[in-house]
Amino acid sequence: MSEPMTIPPDAPLDPPGPRRALFEIYDEGFTCDTWGGVETALWHLVEGVRELGVEAEFYPCAQGADLDALAERVVRERVDAVFPLVESPLFDGGEDAVADEGPDVPELRRRVVRIWHDLSRLSPDLSTPPPCPVHALGATVPSGGHCTAADAFPDGPTREVFLRDLPWTRCFGSRTYIPWAVDHLPPQDLRDPSGPVLLQLGKTSVDQARVCLDRLTGAGVPVRAIFATWSKEGRDARELVAPYAASDAVEVVDSYDIRTEWKRVYAGARLFVLPSVFHETFNFAAAEALQLGLPVATLDDCGALAGFASLRAATVAELMDAVVARGGAARPAQRPWTGWREVAHRYASLIAAPRHAPATGV
Ligand SMILES: [Zn+2]
């Protein structure tokens, strides 16, 4: 257990000097085998805020699990903002869990900025959350119904960052919208209309992955496969692909560091195909494909990912038909416009924002 906070309550909340921020990262860190969208986002975000003078450090989940220790560090080091992953125990358990917390944890909570990099706290299967009957657009007066975000601390004091303004974000009182960026890669046109289909597997069932592979290889379309290896479906798909790769029908790019090996992944492909049944908050793989001149094909209901797509279909089978018929002629959608400098500026402003809100409401 940590000591109670010793800073008097009337002390200035914003001491002079550099701003300080802590960012939680998965325990694997930044090794390329587990690199995914969260790593891409946090890596470039932290690089950006450091250039703006913020003292930013990463801490692993294993440290973030001990809220009392993290809170004691935040108070001791006068940290201005903490960015936990969505899985953090800070977002577990509702009022009962809060009642048992140590004396510094309210100070930690006041500094927390939650970036909604996935929706698992609202939608455990990562599908699109249902509309909230209390906070739906136009419901200016709470109707007395049950808020669908009630278990996710919608009333603060955490500040919430969403990547887009969508109906389910309106349950949260203190919210900001900041998209991610993709200009860590240079804008280029690396597409070859006769090249392989770049197919990412792991965001639909392994049966549906088999539909993709059979349809494409059956039509004689060359395939380059990559995997969302953080998911069980992704690991299963990697095993599924092995016999296809042995027959040269499918090229596998199994592990790569996107910071240096983006050409190995994307260059020379005709389009990027990602059948995802998740509500994607952004999707770096698709944004990177667009940045490099590749059109994107995906399912209709997949959150922000659908906004990047030139080809869409309701089912995996229909999507593969479209890819076979029209994949070579598809034109890429517009590139995402936000840059990391702007993203970093907006986060630096959040980090520097005066912490006026009292530590109540938790
Ligand atoms: Zn609500």
Q: How far is the CA of 139 from the centre of ligand 1 (A)?
A: 10
Q: What is the pLDDT of residue 338?
A: 85
Q: How far is the CA of 327 from the centre of ligand 1 (A)?
A: 40
Q: How far is the CA of 39 from the centre of ligand 1 (A)?
A: 29
Q: How far is the CA of 152 from the centre of ligand 1 (A)?
A: 10
Q: How far is the CA of 119 from the centre of ligand 1 (A)?
A: 14
Asked if domains 20-181+342-352 and 197-326 share a fold, the reply is yes
Pick the CATH number of 20-181+342-352 from 1.20.58, 1.10.287, 3.30.40, 3.40.50: 3.40.50
Q: How far is the CA of 131 from the centre of ligand 1 (A)?
A: 8
Mean residue pLDDT across the chain? 88
Asked, as a colleague might, if the bond just before 358 is cis with ω within 30 of 0, I would say no
Q: How far is the CA of 130 from the centre of ligand 1 (A)?
A: 10
Cβ–Cβ under 8 Å, residues 325 and 215: no
* pLDDT in 10s for each residue of the chain, 362 residues: 333 344 444 544 455 568 999 999 999 888 877 788 899 999 999 999 999 999 999 999 999 999 999 999 999 999 999 999 999 999 886 666 677 788 899 999 999 999 999 888 888 888 888 888 888 766 555 556 788 888 888 887 889 999 998 888 989 988 999 999 999 999 999 999 999 999 999 999 999 999 999 999 999 999 999 998 777 888 899 999 999 988 888 999 988 888 889 999 999 999 999 999 989 999 999 999 999 999 999 999 888 898 999 999 999 999 999 999 999 999 999 987 789 999 999 999 999 986 544 433 33
- DSSP symbols for 143-163: -SS--TTGGG-TTSSSEEEES
Cβ–Cβ under 8 Å, residues 83 and 348: no
Q: How far is the CA of 283 from the centre of ligand 1 (A)?
A: 25
Q: How far is the CA of 175 from the centre of ligand 1 (A)?
A: 13
Q: What is the pLDDT of residue 137?
A: 67
Cβ–Cβ under 8 Å, residues 72 and 328: no
Q: How far is the CA of 96 from the centre of ligand 1 (A)?
A: 20
Domain positions in the chain: 20-181+342-352, 197-326
Q: What is the pLDDT of residue 33?
A: 73
Q: What is the pLDDT of residue 4?
A: 38
Q: How far is the CA of 26 from the centre of ligand 1 (A)?
A: 29
Q: What is the pLDDT of residue 264?
A: 96
Cβ–Cβ under 8 Å, residues 185 and 292: yes
Q: What is the pLDDT of residue 34?
A: 75
Residue partners of 133: CB distance under 8 A and separation at least 6: 139, 143, 145, 146, 147, 148
Q: What is the pLDDT of residue 16?
A: 57
Distance CA 144, CA 176 (A): 25
Question: What does the DSSP 8-state code read for residue 134?
Answer: T
Q: How far is the CA of 161 from the centre of ligand 1 (A)?
A: 16
CATH topology of domain 197-326: Rossmann fold (3.40.50)
Q: How far is the CA of 140 from the centre of ligand 1 (A)?
A: 12
Q: How far is the CA of 291 from the centre of ligand 1 (A)?
A: 35
Distance CA 343, CA 324 (A): 37
